[in-house]
Structure 1
Amino acid sequence: MLARKFVYAAAGAAMLTAAGAAQAETLKLAVGFPTGSAAVYALENFAKNVEATSDLKVKVFSLSLLNLKETPPGIRDGIADMGFVLPPYYPAEFAETNLAANLSMLATTGEQIESPGTAMGAAMTEYVFLHCPDCLAEHKKQNQVYLGTGTSPTYILHCTTPIRTMEDLKGKKYRSGAANFGRWAEAVGGTKVSVPGNDIYEAMAQGVVDCGMFSATELTNLQLFDVTKFITTKIPGGVFAGVATNNINRDVWADLTPAQREAIFKASARSSADVTWKYYADAKRNLNDAPGKGIEIIEPTAEMVKMSEDFVKSDLAVISKQFTDDYGLSNVDAKIAKISELVDKYKKLTAGMADDPEALAKLYWDEIMSKVDLSTYGMD
């Protein structure tokens, strides 16, 4: 049981009741995706796992309590106890974490694996937990405790017009959910457009964007089957790694018992694995279903694929300069080298885990999260 009951003011700021008040037992978890989405699936499983191993209960609010943009400040201010956080929506506040997320295109270059998201998610999680105290510090500044990262499958083009050649890429308006994808759009002669995930459907329907860069999972997550007419696979490549699967409010975390924190931490290893697996499984299914829904699947030319790979290599220097000059990060090149090393490490360790979330969760625990000292983590 929690030691104090959480009371939420109408304005949204959370306050703890005075000592001796009745105990609360249910945590509010906000997910800015609709019911049936991969994120909600994973976090509903998280709730079940927490309830099975502790005296806590978790209520998942899908697209009702907070949307994707509102979730980080909503957790910070106590409107929700936990939530599905997308750090790229707040580039300055989560600059250290976003540096690693900006390197997600490394997952689909070099050694090729079936599910690049499995490698990138594990690499992000190890980096933030074990190698990036500055990442943890920026989560602390937002009154949150980081609990792991799940990632998407490969990013591809979902368009209202066909993209078959290098020439077709020029002049298009591309929805970008992270800075590296926006730079790719500009590199191919297009225009990047920043649109929150919850607004992609309307942006495509109204012609605000010609193509969205995201995984095929979003065809069902965000109901984009209706507005997508053409899919070009393999490009831009990369995955979306700017995810903190179920961050928790620091005051809530501190108020838990050691046993409750352990239950949440172990369930978080599985939730990050579940997010990654479910995104991958849904993407495969959606691509299989797309032709039957009137969507043409286009394979890019060899020239287009090479262009994307060349972009990733050249973009490393851009990322280094941007995060050094614009965000004031230190030792950026060393951090990039470490993240690159971790991506390569987990490409090997996650081999064969594309369809095995249980094995992936065990990897998260054995290689990463079991090494975190829960007696002090998030408590200072």
Structure 2
Amino acid sequence: MYSLLKNIGVIAMTMTMTMTTAFAENITFNASVPPSEVVIHSLIKPYLEALEKATNKELTFQLFTAGQMFGALNTMSSIRDGAVKGGMVDAVYHRNQMPYSATFGDLIAFSPEPVAAVGASLETFFKNCPECLLEFKKNNLIALGGTSTAPYTIMCSKELSSLADLKGLRIRGSIDFHFSLIKALGANGVNIPFGDITQSFERGNIDCLLGGPTWLQSFGITDLVKSRVSTVSFGTITLPALVTFQRSTWDGLSEDIKKIMLSNIAKYIANGTIEIIKDNDSAASKAHNAGMQEVVFGEALVSLREKFLVTERLRLIKSGKERGAENVESMLDSYLETYKIWEELSKEINGDKDKFVEVLNKRIYNDLSL
């Protein structure tokens, strides 16, 4: 009798283990950036770890960073086709397949403040851009959220005293926004690959670059930069689909699991966004200690930026329509209205992660159905 009961117990335990294994879902997640990036260690990695814990490992994750599996250009198709089940997606690389979603990559000039940019981009993406959601669905994808970059500023190896000093300087750029801004400043755009930035700065092939102070550390040029134009932020890149999964995998998850994934994301979006800002400020402080001066050009630059926004709006609309986003102007107007709201909300949040989470959930995630 004891032997029989023992065997029954072993069989039951084996069945339980088999059932647990059968219902466990392992998700491979591809990130094209290294683990040292804030977006990895403050957003993606802790979010995936939190999901494992909250689901009692019904969901498990394998995080591949630094493009170990796929680069930024191939992540979208790799998720769509099932080579991985999740990853960082930037629709800018897929303008023809995702003409509306790619518009977020053109909103830089209209997104000067990171918290407002993140909130407005997520709210627009999920609530006011059905075309964006449809594009992701057609590509077997589902986005849950994302963050933004630190604000773009101009950092130069020369000492600057007025806006006129930028005229004729060689400023590193790589995208349409960069070159439109550089032209508006009367400077010359130079398309230098990331790998050549350090050497180009050292040799004087470029005088300035558009980016955040963290770049100074990344490229080892902190000691070479003498001036940063800080009158205004020239904008941030919003990335509302930074955390994306394969839709067919998502559809196979239970409703409880989906709720856990949605209810946890705001915490890590807030954490990642605030930490990006802190990282940027810390890098700026180190650059100041190394001799970088903040240069304020006052009303002259504010006025130039206002004029630039007019031409940038026209460029954005033209670019959107050329790639197939016929209603891009309506999407832009919706974003701008939402951004104004989030500008005020950002002042109330004032760097408080808990408040940021509360607002994100209230305005977006609490009633989000995907």
SS, match of residue 69 in structure 1: coil
Distance in 2, Cα, partners of 1:175 & 1:72 = 28
Letter in 1 for 2:50: N
| Counterpart position of 1:256 | 253
Map of 1:17-28 to 2, 5 A cutoff? 25-28=25-28
Q: Does 1:153 align with 2:150?
A: yes
Deviation for aligned residue 1:259:
1.9
Equivalent residue in structure 2 for 1:205, among 199, 202, 206: 199
SS, match of residue 237 in structure 1: coil
Residues 349, 133 of structure 1: CA spacing in aligned structure 2 closer, same or farther, 3 A cutoff? Answer: same
- Give the fraction of aligned pairs with identical amino acids, expressed as a percent: 19
Kept in 2, the 8 Å contact 1:201–1:224? The answer is: no
Letter in 1 for 2:107: L
Q: Any gaps of 5 or more consecutive residues in structure 2? A: 1-20
Map of 1:190-339 to 2, 5 A cutoff? 190-192=187-189, 200-206=194-200, 210-219=207-216, 222-225=218-221, 229-230=225-226, 231-234=228-231, 237-324=234-321, 326-339=322-335
Q: Does 1:362 align with 2:354?
A: no
Residues 365, 308 of structure 1: CA spacing in aligned structure 2 closer, same or farther, 3 A cutoff? Answer: same
Q: Does 1:139 align with 2:136?
A: yes
Letter in 1 for 2:320: F
Q: Does 1:89 align with 2:93?
A: yes
Kept in 1, the 8 Å contact 2:153–2:211? The answer is: yes
Deviation for aligned residue 1:240:
1.2
Distance in 2, Cα, partners of 1:74 & 1:175 = 31
Letter in 1 for 2:62: K
Letter in 2 for 1:58: F
Deviation for aligned residue 1:251:
2.3
Deviation for aligned residue 1:317:
2.5
Deviation for aligned residue 1:148:
1.6
Deviation for aligned residue 1:243:
4.5
Q: Deviations over 1:207-227 (max 9, x none)?
A: 57543322334445x455558
Superposition TM-score, scaled by structure 1 size: 0.79
SS, match of residue 189 in structure 1: coil
Letter in 1 for 2:368: V
Count of residues in Structure 1 that have an aligned counterpart in Structure 2? 342
Residues 264, 163 of structure 1: CA spacing in aligned structure 2 closer, same or farther, 3 A cutoff? Answer: farther
Residues 300, 137 of structure 1: CA spacing in aligned structure 2 closer, same or farther, 3 A cutoff? Answer: same
Deviation for aligned residue 1:367:
0.7
Residues 354, 72 of structure 1: CA spacing in aligned structure 2 closer, same or farther, 3 A cutoff? Answer: farther
Q: Any gaps of 5 or more consecutive residues in structure 1? A: 1-20, 109-115
Letter in 2 for 1:213: L
| Counterpart position of 2:7 | none
SS, match of residue 348 in structure 2: coil
Distance in 2, Cα, partners of 1:338 & 1:65 = 36
- RMSD, aligned α-carbons: 2.8
Kept in 1, the 8 Å contact 2:152–2:211? The answer is: yes
Structure showing the higher helix proportion among its residues: 2
Kept in 2, the 8 Å contact 1:177–1:213? The answer is: no
Q: Does 1:351 align with 2:355?
A: no
| Counterpart position of 2:34 | 34
Equivalent residue in structure 1 for 2:81, among 52, 77, 87: 77
Deviation for aligned residue 1:151:
1.4
Residues 318, 294 of structure 1: CA spacing in aligned structure 2 closer, same or farther, 3 A cutoff? Answer: same
